[in-house]
DNA sequence: AATTTCATGTAATTCGTTACATGATTCC
DNA sequence: GGAATCATGTAACGAATTACATGAAATT
């Protein structure tokens, strides 16, 4: 079994479910594509991959990543290990995907879970979103209480820090409210088919029901590693 | 010297600068009063206090916390160690307070620094705020770039996650802008006197210059430990 | 030819938590 | 007198980073 990181394991399985990859690329996707939910170092990633293999959830395949097709056809390819999800791995990931629980709504866990909502069933999405929300509301209450008790003893900067902190949390609650409402509105559930093939070409239009937001992004390719 | 946590060490020294305390209370203040910048466990706090003592920055005093005055006057008081900042400790903290550098604007470090802005010189506050801001702007640029590169490959949830993440960062930048402007406006600098006595009763009115925000908090005392 | 980026790994170290162990004090 | 909370500590463990070590491929 092996109690590996949880969030890293989850994210790796989720990314590999979409398509096989080698470690280096995996790490980049962890930072960038899969928005922001921390950068893991190679010293963490590679050993993690090893244990996932040991668990039978991944297999290592030598060389020839998809893009490499031409180059790979030539003789001696070595190093560059591509990891592919096994059937058991897929199954295990589905299990993780359907699991909801208190840990699920903790900060980092939540981000990871949300990032894979595209493969998560509507019901589960709901539970996670609502769990997260009540988690934050609970947090807010504590903050308010503590603020009420201590406000006069605190200097202005400390107060300002708390105010900003609380506002951030309140903002996330509003965000969750929007999301939950959208979920409720989008009355179709997609993806109740565990173990299907990798991904049937995304880029489609409407996903269940996300709130629409303004869109502004100029082209500007540059480096990786957001952090 | 001993390379202890940095942020915990800093926060402990800062809190003890205001008044002596014992470990248990210290921890509560770390969670609540000093808004939100994580809860350290006793398993972290107590050993840390030990090394601070070993460094000569704190001294342990037996019993009789300020509130205990009556009870303490009675005979056998034991346990309940009150920690007091030494002169060297004060000096060391002033040093830490005046230090600015890349680490200073990292997420958790920044919160800790900000929490003690009340004791920080205006110039230093400025550098820290501006450093933080450019740190975030840099982060934003990376996010925008990566988003521009990958947007069509990402599903709606991932996109939404990134959007929300970016908005959070943008929001903090605006906050910092306000703060920086206020600092610039508030042309007096308080506290350029390192090593003064504990605290000359706060509760005063205007601090340098913080932006004024709406104020709403009902009374509601309850538990501790925000997290 | 040299530098940068890709690519994989290991060992030591840091930071922090959990679980455990203990006991006093306060509240009901 | 029993429970909750205050109070202090230690040992084992966990998660992840840094520094190190190595080398191939692409770019200039």
A162 and A87 in one domain? no
What does the pLDDT average to over A51-60?
A: 95
Give pLDDT tens digits for B129-171.
999 999 999 989 888 888 888 888 888 999 999 999 999 999 9
Q: Residue B219: its pLDDT value, please?
A: 38
With contacts defined as CB-CB under 8 Å, which chain A residues touch B105? none
Helix (H/G/I), strand (E/B), else coil: A33: coil
B102 and B44 in one domain? yes
Judge whether A226 lies within some domain.
no
B92, B115, B138 - which closes a domain = B115
Residue B207 has pLDDT above 80, yes or no: no
The two beta strands, B58-62 and A81-85, are unpaired
Containing domain of residue B58, as a range?
Answer: 7-66+77-115
A107 and A129 in one domain? no
A159 and A126 in one domain? yes
A110–B contact, CB cutoff 8 A: no
Of the candidates A115, A213, A221, the beta carbon closest to that of B148 is on: A221
Judge whether A70 lies within some domain.
no
CB A33 within 8 A of CB B158: yes
Tokens coding A190: 């997609």
Q: Residue B187: its pLDDT value, please?
A: 63
B117–A contact, CB cutoff 8 A: yes
Tokens 């699920």, residue located: A104
Mutate one of A160, A172, A181 to test the B interface: name it (highest B CB count within 10 A). Answer: A160
B165–A contact, CB cutoff 8 A: yes
Residue B54 has pLDDT above 50, yes or no: yes
Distance CA(B123)–CA(A168), nearest Å, equals 27
B24 touches strand C (CB under 7 A): no
Judge whether B40 lies within some domain.
yes
Of the candidates A142, A147, A217, the beta carbon closest to that of B144 is on: A217
With contacts defined as CB-CB under 8 Å, which chain B residues touch A36? 143, 161-162, 165
Q: Note the CA–C1' distance, B91 to C21, in angstroms.
A: 37
Task: Give the list of residues 6+ apart from residue A26 with CB closer than 8 angstroms, or none.
Answer: A12, A15, A16, A45, A49, A83
Between the alpha carbon of residue B120 and those of residues A164, B31, B95, B182, the distances in Å are 19, 21, 11, 15
Q: B58 vs chain A: nearest CA distance in angstroms? A: 23
Radius of gyration of chain B (CA): 21
Judge whether B197 lies within some domain.
no
Judge whether B128 lies within some domain.
yes
Q: CATH number for the domain including A38?
A: 1.10.10.10
A56 and A42 in one domain? yes
B109 touches strand C (CB under 7 A): no
**Per mean pLDDT, which range of A85-89, A184-188, B43-47 is the poorest?**
A184-188
Judge whether B53 lies within some domain.
yes
Distance CA(B166)–CA(B172), nearest Å, equals 10
Judge whether B31 lies within some domain.
yes
A159 and A132 in one domain? yes
With contacts defined as CB-CB under 8 Å, which chain B residues touch A200? none
Of the candidates B147, B158, B179, the beta carbon closest to that of A217 is on: B147
B128 and B105 in one domain? no
CB contact under 8 A, A222 and B145: yes
Q: Note the CA–C1' distance, A36 to C4, in angstroms.
A: 25
Distance CA(B173)–CA(B176), nearest Å, equals 5
Judge whether B27 lies within some domain.
yes
Q: Residue A2: its pLDDT value, please?
A: 45
B167 and B91 in one domain? no
Q: Which residues of B207-219 are buried (b: 16+ CB within 10 A; e: fewer)?
A: bbbbeeeeeeeee
What does the pLDDT average to over B186-205?
A: 45
CB contact under 8 A, B139 and A227: yes
Of A139, A135, A115, nearest in space to A127 by CA: A135
Q: Is B63 exposed, middle or buried (0-12, 13-18, 19+ CB in 10 A)?
A: middle
At residue B205 the predicted structure's pLDDT band, cuts being 50, 70 and 90, is: very low
B136 and B43 in one domain? no
B12 and B107 in one domain? yes
A55 and A105 in one domain? yes
A135 and A107 in one domain? no
Between the alpha carbon of residue B118 and those of residues A105, B193, B196, the distances in Å are 34, 12, 14
Give pLDDT tens digits for A66-108.
444 444 444 444 568 999 999 999 999 999 999 999 889 988 8
At residue A209 the predicted structure's pLDDT band, cuts being 50, 70 and 90, is: low
The two beta strands, B81-85 and B58-62, are antiparallel
Q: Residue A63: its pLDDT value, please?
A: 67
Q: How many domains does chain B have?
A: 2
Range list of β-strands (E), chain A: 21-22, 58-62, 81-85
């Amino acid at each position: 079994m092996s109690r590996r990181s949880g969030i890293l394991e989850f994210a790796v399985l989720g990314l590999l479910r979409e398509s096989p990859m080698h470690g280096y690329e995996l790490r980049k996707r962890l930072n960038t594509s899969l928005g922001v939910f921390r950068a893991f170092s190679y010293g963490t990633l590679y050993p993690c991959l090893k244990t996932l293999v040991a668990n039978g959830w991944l297999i290592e395949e030598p060389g020839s990543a998809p893009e490499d097709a031409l180059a790979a056809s030539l003789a001696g390819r070595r190093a560059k290990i591509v990891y592919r999800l096994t059937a058991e791995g897929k199954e295990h990931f589905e299990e993780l995907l359907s699991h909801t629980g208190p840990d699920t709504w903790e900060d980092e866990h939540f981000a990871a879970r949300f990032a894979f909502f595209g493969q998560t069933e509507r019901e589960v999405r709901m539970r996670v979103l609502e769990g997260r929300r009540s988690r934050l509301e609970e947090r807010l209450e504590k903050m308010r209480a503590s603020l009420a008790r201590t406000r006069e003893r605190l200097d202005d900067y400390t107060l300002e820090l708390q105010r900003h902190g609380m506002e951030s949390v309140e903002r996330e609650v509003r965000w969750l409210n929007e999301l939950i409402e959208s979920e409720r509105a989008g009355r179709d559930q997609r993806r109740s088919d565990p173990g299907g093939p990798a991904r049937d070409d995304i880029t489609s239009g409407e996903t269940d029901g996300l709130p629409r937001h303004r869109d502004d992004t100029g082209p500007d390719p540059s480096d990786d590693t957001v952090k």
